[in-house]
Amino acid sequence: MSLDSLARTAYTEDHEAFRQTVRRFMQEEIAPHGAQWAEDGIVPKSIWPKAGELGLLCPTVPEEYGGLGLDFGYNAIVDEEAAYYGGVTTGFSLQSDIVVSYIVNYGSEEQKRHWLPKLVSGEVITAIAMTEPGTGSDLQGMRTTAKKDGNHYVINGSKTYITNGQNADLILVCCKTDTEIQPAYKGVSIVLVEADREGFKRGRNLDKIGQDEADTSELFFEDVRVPITNCLGQEGMGFIYLMSELPQERLSIAVSAMAGSQRAFDMTVEYTRDRKAFGKPILDFQNSRFVLADLKAKLQVGWAHLDWALARHLRKELTPEEGAAAKLWHTDLQWEVMDKCLQLFGGAGYMNEYPIARMWRGARVTRIFGGTNEIMKELIGRKL
């Protein structure tokens, strides 16, 4: 089975033609290297320009800034194919689905002309630094500061769990430009920090339980001076910008979770059909069939909901609560699928040499990043 056998409603023929290009890239340039990159703890920067050349990076960037000017459906296809065929957390989705939207929507003309073509080509890799050691999902509680000194900001603080942290050439740093104002969210700004600025240091490439190939890092800012023109959009509007862009980030997580779930299911059906116990295929046991039948029904519902959410987002109608609900439901489903599929692999499922084991480990974080699923329930609940 493949993603092609699913009857999708969110995509056009142009989307599906693009899918074939993405799939070839994932199968030829990404999947064969996954084990080595996991061992290295990082995806090499050299793969980014190859993706950029094929239009896989930041397809929504307007043509005037070097992009293709396409809709988010093209991003979603990259996410799906990466999760299903690539099997590697490359960091592409962070750049394409999350970071670039901040620059397109809030950046100055100068910032857009300077950075966007480089993001599209893969010449520049980006990260967004929100989370701090003591705050987690509570973005209003951040302690990193950017204090004015003449026509510069002086940035001090630390961030952690930052995707693309080792590779990043440009970091969007969420910080307090005003520590006194109340409510606290009005003091948050987003400031662009180039990785070659004096006082910026990368900490450890963090040792995670999954997604071993992703460079997730600590970042430190010690009297880092940047021009005030590096502020993204208006000073003090950072929290509002973050809240505005989070629905797309959460939809992106849901897309990857759904495609990863389908991949695990398809692999498990194939394994239980071939593997024998007590003289017959594991799939012939009623328990195996019932577990897989239940998962198949939930996957069917999942794809229908995902296409509904994608269609809503393409019409610019997806609400923050709907984005939160998509992230909550699809990542919960992903964990259920991964766990039940691993069980059907038996002892083999616990061995890292089997893809299901690596997928199971990698899936654990999706209920945490992008805002924990408990926070998603809180966001949905506030609008009841």
End-to-end alpha-carbon separation of the chain, Å? 40
Check the CA dihedral 291-296-299-304 and report its sign: negative
Q: Which of 81, 213, 245, 249 is catalytic?
A: 249
Instruction: Please confirm, yes or no, whether 353 is among the known catalytic residues.
Output: no
3-state secondary structure of 11: coil
Q: Mind giving me the DSSP string for 264-330?
A: HHHHHHHHHHH-EETTEEGGGSHHHHHHHHHHHHHHHHHHHHHHHHHHHHHTT---HHHHHHHHHHH
281 upstream amide cis, omega within 30 of 0: no
Query: ∠242-44-56 over CA atoms, to 5°?
Result: 55
Q: What are phi and psi of 62, to 5 degrees?
A: -60, 150
User: Where in 124-187 does DSSP place strands (E)?
Assistant: 126-129, 145-149, 152-163, 170-176
Catalytic positions are 249
